Chains A and B, each alone.
Chain A
Amino acid sequence: MGDLATRAEIIKLAHELGTDPEPLQFLQAAGEQDVAALRRTITKGLFAVHEPRLRRVAGLSKLLPPQLAAKIAESALGPMVCGRIAGFLDVNAAVRLAAHVSPRFLAEISSFIDPDRTAEIVRSLPDDLVLTVASHLLDTGEYITLGQFVAIVSERVAIKVMAMATGEQMLQASFYADDRRRVDALVGQLSDERLVDVVQAAADLDQFDEALSLLVFLGPQVQHRLSRTLLALGPDVADGVVRAVVRLGAWAELLPVVGTLAPDVVAVLVNVATTRDPDVISGMIRQVRAQTELVDNAREFGYFALLVDAIDALDDEHRAVLSAVDDLDDPELLAWAAGQVGVGEQTMRDAVVALRAGAELPPELVHALARS
């Protein structure tokens, strides 16, 4: 899942350099933090290259009446140069100037600003103007810029921006958000209906990977509310979520979410079409087993007991699939599982038989899971 966050950073760097992400794919190996740091360094470098000239233009613009400076900006300088110059204007001059250019042009400029240098300017603009600019960014699909923008405006304005966005726009802007920690507060403000829109958009666009990469930034309350949207959206959407989790193998990152799931949501998730495939179940077992830390954390969170509920929720069709999962007969796996839970290997073998038959799990195992 960190891969997705890194991919978002690579796309943002490509956007900054005005190129396709393809030649920068090698950076995937560096990880999100390093690519983000590199992007900030390159952004600063792109400003530094022309800093003396940009400072001179910024200085000259202050000598002109704002109306004339705005006219020159819009009809001669263009958005890229204006975006670069904005980083060298003082706040008052920039706010005066902004009042005289069209919001559409301000939206175009915002694609070229350095958020670090211009945050104070953006925060000093009237809310109405900021919202009009955000509306243009939403209309033109400038989600990377919007993601930067939302990171620097006040929470009050950011909430209003989110209120203007469709589910797809919210998903995209959140994925590219410069400050993903802010996503929790913003998404938390959305009504249940809007949350349904976001998850539906993820389904329509087949962007569950992106949606899942945001889950780790959400608090338990929002995670719980989001998971409940699956009940409203039906089995296909839940299947898309599970497919993405299996594809990403992001069990460790998603483990904390498990504790926020209500039993009816668990029932929907464990009975999706994807898990009717024995190969998928085998793959999941191997993925989980390979992550020692995941199992330790699950124990620490007290999630072993949740396994009983998940198994109870399996429908007949999914139980039948377990008969074709050979991994469940692997003595090494059973010994490992028995060791993890603290029961004998025979108990584990009995549990697999019960699992497949839809019978009750051995009481010894149920007690051990509850104790773990």
Chain B
Amino acid sequence: MTDGARARLARQLAIPATQLTVLDQFADADADRLAAVTAEAVARQTRELDVALERALGFVPALLRGRARKLLFPGDRRG
């Protein structure tokens, strides 16, 4: 496995690539497969988190909703 595949996976998980040295013994194609399912898991988690927090905002009184949105969706311009 090249550093590229390991680094890509480490970036997806926001962890140091040195924690993934176990993958060095595998071919790039295998590591890419793991990176792909991990990317899907992260994307799914992000989507679920966005949807869940959007729903949770419905419980926040309208006056405070903007501030709550900024806190929960940093970078989002709708707040």
Contacts and interface: CB of A to CB of B under 8 A. Distances in A.
Interface of A: 16-19, 23-24, 26-27, 29-30, 34-35, 37-38, 41-42, 44-46, 48-54, 56-57, 60, 68, 71-72, 75-78, 80-81, 84
Give the interface SS of chain B, mostly helix, strand, loop or mixed.
Answer: helix
Contact of A30 (B22, B27, B46): B22
Given A26-B33, A37-B22, A49 B45 contact: yes
Nearest to B13: A45
A178 to B, nearest CB: 18
A308 B11 CA distance: 61
A17 B44 CA distance: 10
B25 A81 contact: no
Contacts of B3: none
B49 A50 contact: yes
A57 B53 contact: yes
Contacts of A49: 12-14, 42, 45-46
A16 B45 CA distance: 11
18 contacts: A18-B44, A24-B33, A38-B22, A41-B20, A44-B13, A45-B12, A45-B13, A46-B45, A49-B46, A50-B45, A52-B74, A60-B68, A60-B72, A71-B59, A72-B56, A72-B59, A81-B48, A81-B49
Contacts of A26: 26-27, 30, 33
B20 A38 contact: yes
B34 interface: yes
Nearest to B56: A76
A26 to B, nearest CB: 4
B41 A46 contact: yes
Interface in B1-54: 12-15, 19-20, 22-23, 25-27, 30, 33-34, 36-38, 40-42, 44-46, 48-49, 52-53
A44 B48 CA distance: 18
Given A27-B26, A56-B72, 17 more contacts: A18-B41, A19-B41, A23-B34, A23-B37, A30-B22, A38-B23, A41-B13, A45-B13, A45-B14, A46-B41, A48-B13, A49-B12, A49-B42, A49-B46, A53-B49, A60-B71, A60-B72
B45 A80 contact: yes
A52 B74 CA distance: 10
4 smallest CB-CB distances across A and B, nearest first, come from: A45-B13, A76-B55, A26-B30, A76-B56
A36 to B, nearest CB: 10
Contacts of A42: 13, 38
A45 B15 CA distance: 6
A34 B22 contact: yes
Contacts of B48: 78, 80-81
B22 A44 contact: no
Contacts of B19: 41
Most buried by A among B14, B23, B25, B26: B14
A48 B15 contact: yes
Most buried by A among B30, B45, B46: B45
A9 to B, nearest CB: 12
A99 B68 CA distance: 26
